[in-house]
A and B are shown apart, each in its own frame.
Chain A
Amino acid sequence: MTRRFAGILLCGAILTGLALADDALPKAETILDHFVEVTGGKAAYEKHKSEVMTGTVDMSAQNVKGTLTRYSAPPDKTYTVMELDGVGKMEEGAAGGVAWENSPISGPRVKTGEEKAQSLREAVFNGPLNWRQMYTKVETAGVETIDGEDCYKVVLTPADGPPETQYYQKKSGLAVRMVTTTSTPMGDFPVEQDLSDYKSFDGVLMPTKMVEKIGPQQFQITIDSVKVNQDVAADQFNPPADVKALLEKK
């Protein structure tokens, strides 16, 4: 689940915005650029050198709640820890071309294949400014209505893995939905994530409410705070000893 949580950061582009015509389909690059513009602009993003995000997880149908903290730093380092009631502490991380996870259920595991590629994409810091590192092709696929608002549908294709579809409101330019397939050892699952309640953190707007559906499961992530440019310990992104042992074995 943290995988798609990380994915929320990957919804932007690099260039400054252009005015979007109402009646013509703009290029995907233009839509992605506009997202960066409306969420703070390139300069604001570039001032972020590290982020520590904290929030809550709520699987209301199952009555399971928890907390999460995500650390991230350039160029592609992440570490996320989630503690769910009755499940315990689950961790995952990516850095230096390695992606891993550790949980009380499955134990330590090093990711491979499409799952690894997906985690590494989501680990790219300031993803909205660096989407060309992550996707080989982007295109506008039409206009669809979400919650009464017209949205541009943008399809982003990575080098490894299935395409992702993102929806940007015509009016606000904000990303409001992402649809993709997430790859796990248990199988590939369709994921739909609705984004809302954008708030500014040191000059960059970020969604603070994410409702994610994976098959019959639904959960909500609420971000309470994002601390920008805090000191993050140098070893914060090192894999735990169990994962290191697996890496050494390989």
Chain B
Amino acid sequence: MVAGILLLAATAFAQLTAEQKQLNIESFEKVWSTIRDKHWEKNPGGLDWQAIHEEYRPKIEQATSTEQARQVMRDMIARLHETHFAIFPGSVYEDVGAEAAAGGNGSPGFDTRVLDGQAIVTSIDAGSSAEKAGVHTGWAVLRAGGKDLTPVIQKLKAVPELHELTLERAVETALSGPQGGELPVTFLDGENHERSMNLRLDPPRGEPSHFGNLPTEYVWFESKKIGNVGYVRFNLFLDLVRVMGRFGKAVTDCKTCDGFIIDLRGNPGGIGGMAMGMAGFLVDKPDQKLGTMYMRGVTLKFVINPRMGAFDGPVAVLVDGCSASTSEIFAGGLQDLGRARIFGTKTAAAALPSEIEKLPNGDGFQYAIANYISEGGKALEGNGVTPDEQVTLTRAALLAGHDPVLDAALQWIKKQRDRK
């Protein structure tokens, strides 16, 4: 009886309608032609891409389930032997928030990172509803908007192709909603007691910034001195005039500082050119570059134009798995040039604008359109930047009000000063 049910289930699973079969074929064609047209090499991966089409097209036509069709597409893109080419099941595509834009960008005013499978509060915006409600760094977020976060995190972590940045964005999406609304959130506090509260969703922190086709992004920039060490942190390489101006002022105002810290944790990138521009405030030698980007028919050298009076003291850059794209170009290049010491955890390995599109059959398709080689000769895409000092955030440290990554950078700068 049980065997009969299983057989029936398997048979039902195997049967695709003619429409589903056609959608899988259309998905295959979209994946194949996207790589043909957008890969940075004319012969992607050094392959005869047309021959690849002839090899896999019959297989997709013979696929008897969407899972089989997905595997055919995965096998095809695996022939590239490159990272950031992936096919996600439709359910994962929905969870990564690719279609969450309609949900709104209201924020309860705190940031999280996934540590040991839980979303842990890592910072709280001043004046936010989270701060007013007494939320503390180190608290774990169990539920948001009635949704258990742990199963979502587990499901996404089970997909090896998804990098940490995508996972964190999925959590961020669960913690956002329409501005002015309220979000019911259940935390696990420092005593491991559940605490439920309704948090008001305010406009995101920062100033709205508009650039080209990008949706409106809220950009914030903070700078301060910690003792005699300069410190800047900003959430995006956007709002070019304001952010470049404030970055330049922060560096030049710190001419006699013992060191300078640039905190790029959680910064997913933005305008690539800003990495070169900012590096110009920290590098005084001409003809230095952060790396080289290779696109179809174009090679871009990320050359640094040294500014007059560039800062010549120790520079530390803080990164984590949500530091991506321009953040990686900046951190990786300065590391390769021996100009900065990097602290934190490995970056997102998403130095390029790898895009995720929805396929006709509902699956997600991720692909990169360029290759970027850092000045040291390493491809950042798929590899990321490995910190010189790997320092991990822990829930215990956050509960105790510490930031071990920042502490390590300050300690290193102090040593440099003492050596003088």
CB atoms of B212 and A185 under 8 A apart: no
Query: With A186-B302, A215-B297 known to touch, is A104 a contact of B212 (CB < 8 Å)?
Result: no
Query: With A64-B211, A88-B240 known to touch, is A106 a contact of B273 (CB < 8 Å)?
Result: yes
Contact with A along B290-323 (1 / 0, CB 8 A): 0000011111111101011000000000000000
| B224 close to A (CB within 8 Å) | no
Question: Which range holds the interface residue count of chain A?
Answer: 20 to 34
Query: With A104-B277, A185-B303, A242-B308 known to touch, is A63 a contact of B209 (CB < 8 Å)?
Result: no
Query: With A86-B211, A104-B277, A107-B277 known to touch, is A185 a contact of B301 (CB < 8 Å)?
Result: yes
| Contacting residues, chain B, for A189 (C-beta < 8 A) | 298
Chain B interface, >50% SS class:
mixed
B245, B277, B298: the one contacting A106 at CB < 8 Å is: B277
CB atoms of B274 and A105 under 8 A apart: yes
Residue of B nearest to A249 (CB): B308
| Contacting residues, chain A, for B302 (C-beta < 8 A) | 186
Residue of B nearest to A188 (CB): B299
**How distant is A115 from chain B, measured CB to nearest CB, in Å?**
12
| Contacting residues, chain A, for B301 (C-beta < 8 A) | 185-187
| Contacting residues, chain A, for B274 (C-beta < 8 A) | 105
| Docked complex: B254-273 residues within 8 A CB-CB of A | 271, 273
| B276 close to A (CB within 8 Å) | yes
| A23 close to B (CB within 8 Å) | no
Q: How far is the CA of A17 from the CA of B272 in the complex (A)?
A: 48
| Docked complex: A221-250 residues within 8 A CB-CB of B | 242, 245-246, 249
CB atoms of A87 and B308 under 8 A apart: no
Q: How far is the CA of A107 from the CA of B286 in the complex (A)?
A: 14
A87, A88, A185, A245: the one contacting B305 at CB < 8 Å is: A185
CB atoms of B295 and A85 under 8 A apart: no
Contact with A along B142-162 (1 / 0, CB 8 A): 000000000000000000000
A-B contact pairs, 13 of them (CB 8 A): A62-B212, A62-B213, A87-B241, A104-B241, A105-B277, A106-B273, A106-B277, A106-B305, A107-B305, A185-B303, A187-B301, A216-B297, A242-B308
Task: Enumerate chain B interface residues (CB-CB to A < 8 A).
Answer: 209-213, 238-241, 244-245, 271, 273-274, 276-277, 280, 295-303, 305, 307-308
Q: 5 tightest CB-CB pairs across the interface, nearest first?
A: A215-B298, A86-B211, A88-B241, A105-B277, A62-B212
